[in-house]
Amino acid sequence: MTLWLPELNAYEPLLNRAEAVRNVETHLKNHLKVLEELVDYGTHLIPRCWSSSPRGVRDMVTLPILLKQIVGMLDAGAELVSRGCVDPAMLQLRAIFEASVYLDWILQSKSRTRARAYYVWNVRRQLRWINRGIVGSPEYKAYRKDLQNLVIESSLDAPEKQKELRLDAKRLSDHLHSPENIAWNKRFDVRRGGKPYDADWYQVLFAKRRSLRFLAGRVKRAPEYRIVYELGSETMHGSKSDSHVRILEGRKLGLRSLRELTEFPFVVQMLMGNAIHAYAAVLDEYRPAERENFSKKYVEAWRSVFMTRLTVSYEYMEATIG
């Protein structure tokens, strides 16, 4: 008979928080320092580029939306890896890559059409969520049907809240029917057809169905898509079994820790690389005079750590399979 101790603390072979943090701080602190500096640099870059922009819809989408998304996910990724949560940081890396591809693709053209499509799609998304709270609306009925077995306390049905929601819905609907947005709003209606959801925001710019992989190819980032996005998607969708176990010789199963650092070199290098790429892209667009100083800072402060070759390996807890 096997007896387990009371579950007052985590089962250490699976989760040893202190050891993971200690290993990062002992062996990998230089990488954490660079990640933190890149986050800090990005927080200044957003308002600095915004002050140099025409402050139109294209600039709003690229700077306080997409670039801010990249900096926010970089900050979250840095916090995760600092605690040894490397595999979950793949989700932040995936989000950074997707936002940076959108950023590259929008900046690739001087036209505002790409940013306008992104913007209108998001206004429609906001309106959809508001309509889900308005009693009696088609969106409300469909949403309630989907949630019929889930008990959620909400104050949205109160008369004063319903009034607020209806005012918000009218405001957004009027905005979608404004001269600058109405044609794009109709494009989404046509593309949607009888489906319950809009297509991805960039779909209305193409006659045929396109994907993020297609956009990545258009901005010459197909290799990163294959590495970063595909691995990140496997982690996101729970289809990456080797994050949890390894099959060893002699029909043995290697159980991997929740805070294993094996993928630290790859994840951190990709976090850094995607951030540096995005920062360079917005500097080229909005503050080209700063590009040389940015390159100099990269060489002097970040390159040596970014290019460092690391290998992290573990001995695995073994169990016989079958």
CA angle 314, 319, 322 (to 5 degrees): 140
Whole-number Å distance between alpha carbons of 98 and 26 = 32
- HSE toward the beta carbon, residue 293, CA cutoff 13 A: 6
pTM listed for this prediction: 0.92
9-68 per-position pLDDT tens digit = 888 888 999 999 999 999 999 999 999 999 999 999 999 999 999 999 999 999 999 999
Q: Which residues contact 31 (CB under 8 A, 6 or more apart)?
A: 81, 264, 268, 305, 308
Average pLDDT on 159-175 reads 97
Residue ranges of the alpha helices (H) in the chain? 17-27, 29-51, 57-60, 68-82, 86-107, 113-131, 138-146, 159-176, 182-192, 212-218, 222-224, 230-236, 264-286, 291-297, 303-306
C-alpha dihedral (286, 290, 64, 109), degrees to nearest 10 = 30
In a 3-state reduction of DSSP, which class is residue 108? coil
pLDDT confidence bin for 238, thresholds 50/70/90: confident
d(CA 255, CA 14): 8
Residue of 78 and 12 predicted with greater confidence = 78
Q: Which range among 91-95, 105-109, 247-251 shows the weakest confidence by mean pLDDT?
A: 247-251
Tens of pLDDT, residue by residue over 142-164, are 998 898 888 777 889 899 999 99
Residue 114: per-residue pLDDT: 98
DSSP label at 307?
Answer: T
Domain boundaries, the chain: 13-108+219-322, 111-210
Q: Look at residue 206 and tell me whether its pLDDT is greater than 70.
A: yes
Q: What is the pLDDT of residues 106-142, one digit of tens each?
A: 999 999 999 999 999 999 999 999 999 999 999 999 9
The mean per-residue pLDDT over the stretch 268-287 comes to 98
